[in-house]
């Protein structure tokens, strides 16, 4: 059962899986998107904003403020993104109709701070890119966590390998300094790592349903996934993809329920050694049954219930 609708701020680096997550958040009755900030990651923050505005336009939602965040990370410059994964424009080189919606004049960090004051105690954050904007917002306003209901982060790898290094997942690995600050802040964090996102794939049959939909945004995402599926052939052995960002979005709303998600201390390696970007989750004592650590506010999702792809497709294609 989905949680009641909550005002939601989305922070993203709008690539292909971000696009499916955005389409989901626009479609689900469990979330009310009140603002979107973009950050560099899959593509640069400005291109991510362009993609976001155009996708929102396809959904008839030009009313949602979209603000551009940091291009560079806290300690290192943006390095060009992942065009081999997401295409040169971040959305599989699909050309979208240009939205008339303007970019919000505020920075993404300021938009988040403003929304936290407008929706104090109720605002939910869904962060599916590097955490640079959130770290900047925390530095500008250390009281931010007091006004945020919870934050769901797609990022990290607890018990599985990383995807940009042997230990680092891309969102955390692109800006470990930011991730360390955000995860250590005093708010309720749900971390959705590669452990669960790689185990919940999106198949060609699901993509075909998006392409056949009456929804313009569903069809656009289906087209973009063609590029993404090619990238994942060496990983899965056939055309399909992981559900990184969409799964985090669905967990944030209660549309997908974690079946194994212990509350455990998590730290981020922000050194310059081979462990840079690793999320170190203290999962000792978990062999017999999940064991929460007293007072810990970070839960790490290791498994999820149900058919995640089916849930996503039904909502994005307006079947539910």
Catalytic residue among 13, 18, 44, 195: 13
Query: Comparing C-alpha atoms, which of 298, 189, 162, 311 is closest to residue 247?
Result: 311
Q: Is 244 a catalytic residue?
A: yes
Query: Comparing C-alpha atoms, which of 95, 84, 128, 90 is closest to residue 232?
Result: 84
Query: Comparing C-alpha atoms, which of 9, 2, 6, 23 is closest to residue 217?
Result: 23
CB of 108 within 8 A of CB of 67?
yes
pLDDT given at position 319: 60
pLDDT given at position 286: 76
CB of 41 within 8 A of CB of 174?
yes
Percent of the chain surpassing pLDDT 70: 98
d(CA 42, CA 170): 9
d(CA 53, CA 212): 23
Res. 1 pLDDT band, cuts 50 70 90: very low
Q: What is the mean pLDDT of the chain?
A: 96
Please state the rounded mean pLDDT for residues 75-93: 97
- What kind of architecture, by CATH, is found in domain 6-317? Alpha-Beta Complex (3.90)
Task: Tell me if residue 36 falls in helix, strand or coil.
Answer: strand
Please state the rounded mean pLDDT for residues 90-109: 97
Query: What six digits make up the tokens of 152?
Result: 């769901």
Catalytic residue among 86, 119, 206, 244: 244
Higher-pLDDT residue of 290 and 261 is 261
pLDDT above 50 (res 101): yes
Q: Is 13 a catalytic residue?
A: yes
pLDDT given at position 2: 46
pLDDT given at position 320: 46
Q: Do you know the residue count of the chain?
A: 320
Please state the rounded mean pLDDT for residues 87-116: 97
Residue 128 to residues 118, 153, 249, Cα–Cα distance (Å): 22, 6, 8
List the chain domain ranges.
6-317
């Amino acid at each position: 059962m989905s949680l009641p609708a909550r005002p939601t701020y989305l922070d993203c680096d709008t690539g292909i899986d971000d696009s499916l997550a955005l389409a989901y958040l626009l479609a689900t009755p469990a979330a009310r998107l009140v603002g979107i900030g973009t950050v560099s990651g899959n593509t640069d923050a400005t291109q991510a904003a362009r993609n976001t505005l155009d996708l929102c336009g396809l959904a008839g939602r030009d009313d949602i403020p979209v603000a551009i965040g940091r291009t560079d990370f806290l300690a290192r410059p943006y390095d060009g993104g992942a065009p081999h994964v997401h295409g040169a424009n971040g959305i599989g080189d699909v050309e979208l109709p240009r939205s008339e919606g303007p970019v919000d004049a505020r920075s993404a960090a300021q938009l988040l701070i403003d929304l936290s004051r407008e929706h104090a105690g109720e605002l939910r954050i869904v962060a599916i890119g590097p955490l640079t904007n959130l770290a900047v917002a925390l530095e500008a306003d250390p009281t931010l966590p007091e006004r945020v209901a919870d934050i769901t982060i797609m990022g990290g790898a607890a018990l599985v390998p990383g995807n940009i290094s042997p230990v680092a997942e891309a969102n955390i690995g692109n800006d470990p300094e930011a991730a360390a600050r955000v995860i250590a802040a005093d708010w309720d964090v749900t971390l959705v790592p590669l452990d669960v996102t790689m185990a919940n794939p999106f198949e060609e049959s699901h993509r075909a349903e998006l392409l056949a939909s009456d929804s313009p945004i569903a069809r656009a995402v289906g087209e973009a996934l063609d590029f993404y599926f090619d990238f994942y052939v060496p990983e899965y052995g056939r055309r399909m993809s992981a559900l990184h960002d969409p799964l985090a979005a669905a967990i944030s709303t209660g549309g997908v329920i974690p079946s194994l998600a212990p509350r455990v201390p998590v730290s981020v390696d922000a050194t310059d050694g081979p462990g840079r970007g690793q999320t170190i989750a203290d999962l000792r004592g978990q062999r017999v049954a999940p064991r929460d650590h007293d007072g810990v506010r970070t839960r790490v999702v290791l498994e999820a219930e149900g058919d995640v792809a089916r849930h996503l497709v039904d909502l994005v294609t307006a079947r539910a």
